[in-house]
Structure 1
Amino acid sequence: MQTASRHTFTALALGIAGVLAFGSADASGFQIRENSVKNMGRANAGTTVAWGDASVVLNNPAAMSNLDKTTVQADLTLIDLTADFDGTGTTAVGTPVSGGDGGDPGDATLVPAMAAVFPLSGALDNVTLGMSVSAPFGLKTEYDPNWVGRYSAITSDVKTIDLTMSAAIAFTERFSVGVGLIYQHADVTLSNAVDFGTALCVGNPPNPANCFNPAYPFQPQGSDALATVKGDDNDWGWVAGVQFRPSDSVAIGYAHRSEIHHTLTGTATFDHSDPSVPATFGALGVHAYDNGPIWANLDTPSTDTVSVQWNVNDGFRVMADAQLTGWSSLAAVEIYRPGGAPLAQEPFNWDDTMFYSLGGEWDLSDAFTFRAGVGFDETPTNDAARTPRLPDNDRTVYTLGMSWNVSEALSVDAAYMRVQIDSPSVDTTSSSGVRLVGDFDGHADLFGVSAQYRF
């Protein structure tokens, strides 16, 4: 029975950091880049040199020097995910798993962001301050509770919220530096079913014959429990960057965002459909499935971003981005009971990834600017490590956007992004010994609107 305990918490450990990557839409892993509709319109190219965009408070504080007026900006992005699964499952004793394909796990979700930039004056006229609120990592996906993969994942709900406070100094008209302090809140809820019927009929010492004996009180899929892990934490990180303009037509920016380490504290609960299961475990002296407190580590990864902007002429600009995300910081995940030994330690084996994008914008007139872009994002996972909570793969994004300068003070932006995800396959065994084999298929559509006021 201790083996069953270890496998159960291993799956939940994977869930805490290895969330369903389809839910993060345009970025691999569980990264979200939607903190600027202007950036989205050009496939997130030019993020660290963006002109007239308050999102640089987080993306590169040094670029706040590009704003010469107090600027307040609000962005809202709707992420609409469509995904489906085609496959089968077998229990630990080889019988087929019942259930459907899980339905569409992704609901349309709104992701907000806000930023404000405050250029100082007088003796400090080369200093700019800023603050922003954004959601850099997260997802929300939910499968039908009786789907064929329920022993691997049902609900995955991960939220991070960043409050960033930044400052920039322009040493010359062509060179500026900036730093920011990030206060991040992380909140995680994950659930999956556990096939206690198989664990009990196999027994310890193992006797699989019980699972084929109709008279035995516990049978595969006959005594499920819903296992739910919840935890949250607050911690600190930082961001720093530089911006350099070697000529009037070229700008280069670089920003590093730190890894943020969280120690999530919360609870693990087991909702048993068969009331005899807890009593049976208690009689066997197994208490790993008791409801109670837990804690676990979660690291949101670092990023390094380089951007280039070339002003081809007064009305046309081309931007490019390259971003390294340090997913290898998720080397392993552990879950603990307070004061006890690790309940699970699972190698994660994610790789660092690169994101590349190319975009442009064209000023049709003083009132209207049009944007377009394309990007490619590598996946951090691989065929050997992929699970139903991690059906991520390489993805390509295509974007369109526009700005309407309503007046000298007010502008309104809109953007659309299409995300094409290479179909990933899974062949994995869950905490309950259930093997799931199949293919995922999905794409996402993103729609963003924002408004900016300068005074």
Structure 2
Amino acid sequence: MKTICRSLQLIGVGSALLAGQALASGYNFGTQSASNQGFANAGAAGLTDASVLFYNPAGMSQVEGTQVSGVLNYIIPDGNFTNTNSTNAAGMAVTGSNGGSFGVATPVPHMYLTHQIDDRWTVGVGMFVPFGSHTDYSKDWVGRYNTTESSLMTFNLNPSVAYKFNDMVTVGAGVSVQYIEGKLAKQLDLGLSAASTACKSVPAATCSALMRALASKTQYDGSSEVTGDDIGYGFNLGATFKLSDATRVGVAYRSAIKHKLEGDAKFTVPQNFASSALGAAAGGQIQAGLNAQLKNKAATLEVETPESFSLNAFHQINEQWAVMADYTWTRHSRFDEIRIKLDGAADSVTPTNWNDTSRYSVGVSYKPTEKWTLRGGLAYDNAPENDQNRIASIPDSDRVWVALGANYAFTPTQSVDLTAIYVDLKNSTIAQKDQNGATVRGNYDISSVTLGVQYNHRF
């Protein structure tokens, strides 16, 4: 029975939003600004609205006066899994569905405020979602003993300041107060556990019959749900360099943030073993053992969200055309394992062995009239996972972004950004084995559309 407790894995808490997950690789949410979203995140060096605070605090010096930007993103994922011989801990094929379209459509808001104190100093504050994920498979899917639902939500409060040394160099810094909340749910193959226990004292033929009757049957599945939350602290730094009236470059760094999520592990156990093929006496004894073992208990998990470094550039070709580019490196290799500490039980450890990632993006803007600005962008974002270390809670793979957007200025002080991104992930495979030996095997086909709207008002 101890193996049932050890099999609990808080995969979703070390993870985030994409096909129900994130736009960006790993568990980065991927877009915190509808204006930059229209450039596939290539436009940090050229942004002149308050949302630049997220990408580079030094960029606030380009935002005149006092400005508020409110952003709403809506992710519409399409994620599909096809089973290729998923098995339980005994090596038997698991019957069930492909999990349905496991991505969860999600609205995500962000808000920014900047204030130009004088020619040198600008201050601001951002409230945004840096990481997030939600995958939700049907309860009868073949990988249900690895995961059925995982979600991650973060919220970051980021006061910042920028100082302009001269017309060429500006620096900026900010501090982050980050709230994190996570959930992981999975089914427990208690039918297999019950049959395995009974098999210790019955003939081989009877054992085989019990396995067929009980193992991996949904009516004998239990469930576990682990939840937790925490608040952590970090910082970010940035600098911009104005090389000419038409050209700017920027560098930015956002630190890792350590979290210790504390919460609960909750279990459900079906109460039907006494009336199963085990018989009343043996089934009743096994039922009592399961009920005693799978009691709710406290759970903790330490997570360190990754640091990132960005280098970006902007060039105004003429009054109508501008081009831009961005390179962002993220240290996803910090996520090397998921270690759950359960009160009164051994740690549950799942290796992940993620790799660091790079994203490359380019963008262009065209201003046909005084009121309209049109945008486009492309990005390539490589994943921290591969076919050897992919996990069902975050079935990630290399992806391509295609972005389109527009800004319309109602007045010189009011404008709105509208944008859409299509993200296509490379088809991928999974062969993830849980701590007990249950293995989900299959193929993933994932894409998503993210719509964004942003209102900007300068006072």
Question: Normalization by structure 1: what TM-score?
Answer: 0.92
Cα offset, 1:5, TM superposition: 3.4
Q: Please give the alpha-carbon distance, in whole angstroms, between the structure 2 residues aligned to 1:244 and 1:2.
A: 59
Gaps of 5+ in 1: none
The question of whether the paired residues in 2 share the 8 Å contact of 1:82 and 1:104 is answered with yes
- From 151, 154, 167, the equivalent of 1:157 is 151
Structure 1 residues 134 and 20: alpha-carbon distance in aligned structure 2, compared to 1, 3 A threshold: closer
Q: Which residue of 2 aligns with 1:5?
A: 5
- Distance in 2, matches of 1:79 and 1:286, equals 40
Q: Which residue of 2 is the match for residue 54 of structure 1?
A: 50
Once superposed, what is the RMSD of the aligned Cα atoms?
Answer: 2.4
Whole-Å Cα distance in 1 between the matches of residues 156 and 172 of structure 2? 18
Report how far residue 21 of structure 1 moved: 4.4
Q: Which moved more, 1:125-134 or 1:200-209?
A: 200-209
Whether the 8 Å contact between 1:14 and 1:348 is mirrored in structure 2 is: no
User: Aligned ranges for residues 392-403 of structure 1 at < 5 Å?
Assistant: 392-403=396-407
Q: Is the contact made by 1:243 and 1:254 (CA closer than 8 Å) also made in structure 2?
A: yes
The residue correspondences of 1:92-241 to structure 2 (distance < 5 A) are 92-121=89-118, 125-203=119-197, 209=204, 211-214=207-210, 219-221=215-217, 223-241=220-238
Aligned-partner SS, 2:54: helix
The change in CA–CA distance for 1:207 and 1:439 in structure 2 (over 3 A counts) is farther
How many residue pairs are counted as aligned between the two chains? 447
Q: Alpha-carbon deviations, 1:134-168, whole Å to 9, x = none?
A: 11100222111112221122111210001110000
Amino acid aligned to 2:60: M
Corresponding position of 2:72: 76
Q: Give deviations 1:99-153, integer Å, cap 9, x for gaps.
A: 11111112321111110100103xxx31100001111100222111112221122
Aligned partner of 2:247 in structure 1 is 250
Distance in structure 1 (CA, Å) of the matches to 2:55 and 2:138:
37
1:3-35 residue CA offsets vs partner (Å, 9 max, x unmatched): 4433x13xx143431457432342011111221
CA distance in 2: counterparts of 1:206 and 1:426, whole angstroms: 33
2:420 aligns to what SS in structure 1?
Answer: strand
Relative distance call for 1:366 and 1:431 in structure 2 (3 A) is same
- 1:309 aligned residue (314, 321, 345): 314
Report the CA distance shift for 1:356/1:206 in structure 2 as closer, same or farther (over 3 A).
farther
State the distance in 1 between where 2:290 and 2:268 align: 19
Q: Distance in 2 between matches of 1:215 and 1:405?
A: 68
CA distance in structure 1 between the partners assigned to 2:241 and 2:293 by the alignment: 56
Contact 2:42 2:312 in 1 (8 A): yes
Relative distance call for 1:214 and 1:341 in structure 2 (3 A) is closer
Deviation at 1:429, TM superposition (A): 2.4
CA contact (8 A) 2:195 2:211 kept: no
Structure-2 residue corresponding to 1:375: 379
Distance 2:122 2:301 in 1: 38
CA distance in structure 1 between the aligned counterparts of 2:286 and 2:259, rounded to whole angstroms:
32
State the match for 1:65 in structure 2: 61
C-alpha deviation, 1:55, in angstroms: 1.3
Instruction: Tell me how far apart the structure 2 counterparts of residues 138 and 207 of structure 1 sit (CA, whole Å).
Output: 48
SS of alignment partner, residue 213 of structure 1? helix
On the 8 A contact 2:149/2:393 being kept in 1, the answer is no
CA distance in 1, matches of 2:307, 2:15: 16
What secondary structure sits across from 2:61 in the alignment?
Answer: helix
Q: Where does structure 2 lack aligned partners over 5 or more consecutive residues?
A: 275-282
CA distance in 2, matches of 1:215, 1:409: 70
State percent identity of aligned pairs: 31
- Larger mean CA deviation between 109-118 and 139-148 belongs to 139-148
* Matched-pair contact (CA < 8 Å) for 1:58–1:166: no
How many angstroms does 1:275 deviate by? 5.8
Residues 253-294 of structure 1, C-alpha deviations (whole Å, 9 max, x = no match): 011000011100000011112365998579669966321111
Q: Which moved more, 1:38-47 or 1:95-104?
A: 95-104
Alpha-carbon distance in 2 for matches of 1:159, 1:144: 21
Aligned positions of 1:302-451 closer than 5 A:
302-338=307-343, 342-431=346-435, 433-451=437-455
